[in-house]
Amino acid sequence: ATDVMEAGLHLWVDKPLAMDEGQAGRLVEAASNAGVTVMVGFNHRWHAGVEEGRALVQSGRLGALRAVRSVYTHAHNGPAAQPWHRRRDRGGGVIFNDACHHFDLWRYLLGAEISHVQARAFDSKDFEDDTCSMTAELDNGMVGSALFSFSTRPHSEVEIFGERGSLLIDPY
């Protein structure tokens, strides 16, 4: 990524952007020095239902927003999964690989940053961070909850709760 930016080219990078804060900081500095645009490829932002949902949230029809909930589960077929999916230090695990898409959706749909997280991740015989439950606070006063797992049937949804209504988005 650094070589691409130093060549003066814009960059679309897959997640995770980096494996730690130091690596991410070096990439941000390289982008700033090169004067190029860098974007992490969060593919759910381009989903028609997500775009419609964002417009609905921004319209105010849900009233004052109070909470957001996400569920993402997917069967990654255990031992047949790609080796990097199974190990956290290689960008795998359900948090790095899939939960990040839902966290990005929260930010994109709600126009807020996640300010505090409590999470508990559980390993399985095939995966580090196979299943994770978490609660969060967003900087706009909302609360969030989520469940992520590699070892169940495929399911994906984000639900936003406002004082006048709720919105359920299913990217599948």
pLDDT tens digits, one per residue of 147-167 = 999 988 899 999 999 999 999
81 vs 125: CA distance, rounded Å:
12
Q: Which of 5-9, 31-35, 74-78, 134-138 has the highest mean pLDDT?
A: 134-138
pLDDT range class, residue 41, cuts 50, 70, 90: confident
Concatenate the DSSP letters of all residues of 1-43 into one string: -HHHHHTT--EEEPSPS-SSHHHHHHHHHHHHHHT--EEE--G
Residue 16 has pLDDT above 80, yes or no: no
| High-pLDDT (> 90) share of the chain, % | 61
Mean pLDDT of the chain: 91
pLDDT range class, residue 10, cuts 50, 70, 90: very high
Q: Give every CB contact of residue 58 below 8 A, 6+ residues apart in sequence.
A: 111
